[in-house]
Structure 1
């Protein structure tokens, strides 16, 4: 009976410890993302056309970015692998973009390990999922009734860390202005 109580107490303590470790990991991740939003380099990526709405998931914009088309000129990853410069690439990696005067990133090259970047260049990580190149996210969700505002979006605003991690920060119009939620009347 004593041995059973010890095992039971050990299991409870192990469960409590595991819960604490999970909470610590989640909070560290949240803190890192908040730091990226506050201190990351601001970069605009031009949007590429895609169907913007889903009735099942609510109002959102499905996102694709022009730099993906520039980096991988063929429409799918599988076809892009036939391109001579991409044969050694993994399905996840990074590109280098050059920023113009409006902070719009234009594809320059596939990043090499430990590459030194110029002052106006930024490293951006990508992932290949379902034969499509994705940067940070492939959707921007917004409140119901705001679709007309976000139909004007031409750029996604990102915060980017030095190692290429990115978070979608905002949506911007063709004149680079921030698209903000319209106040309720």
Structure 2
């Protein structure tokens, strides 16, 4: 029995490491092959006593959405305007239809907060809150499947805040 116990532990460890590596590879693929989309931010409180300095992000594309008329999960279709800022075109259940110059962003519908895209918190070093309070846009890398990854906050001139 002891022999099987160690085999089971080893198999579980290999599966866990495989899953973690797959998750990392997926995010690295989004970073390298994804399209940078700037999403306009709505104002929120940038402080948490338990977690340190961070900013809860709320995006303009997630506002003015009636939760009664949309699916719990779906895709927000955005199109870049002349300034390179994403504007919501429509919400849809599937990945199609999608037209040229449109991008998919996967969303979840929350009963009280509207839709969320999964990149709602941005942590930064304690004491840097004054720099990030000026953030106007959230930079999100998106792939062609609607997956996204928050890569930074941007100021009004569309320069990344560091």
TM-score, normalised to structure 1, is 0.82
Unpaired segments ≥5 residues, structure 1: 1-6, 75-79, 181-185
How far off its partner does 1:120 sit?
1.4
Q: Which has the higher strand share?
A: 2
Give 3-state SS (helix, strand or coil) of 1:59's partner: strand
Residues 1:142 and 2:124 are matched in the alignment: yes
Q: CA RMSD in A?
A: 1.4
Change (3 A) 1:138 1:155: same
Change (3 A) 1:107 1:20: same
**2:8 aligns with one of 3, 14, 37:** 14
Q: How does 1:21-170 map to 2 (within 5 A)?
A: 21-70=15-64, 72=65, 74=66, 80-81=67-68, 86=69, 89-129=70-110, 131-132=112-113, 133-170=115-152
> Deviations for 1:65-107, whole angstroms, at most 9, x for unmatched residues?
000014x1x5xxxxx31xxxx2xx3211111111113321101
Structure whose alpha-carbon radius of gyration is higher:
1
Aligned pair count reads 161
How far off its partner does 1:112 sit?
4.5
Unpaired segments ≥5 residues, structure 2: none
TM-score, normalised to structure 2, is 0.93
Within 1, Cα distance between the matches of 2:14 and 2:111? 35
How far off its partner does 1:38 sit?
1.3
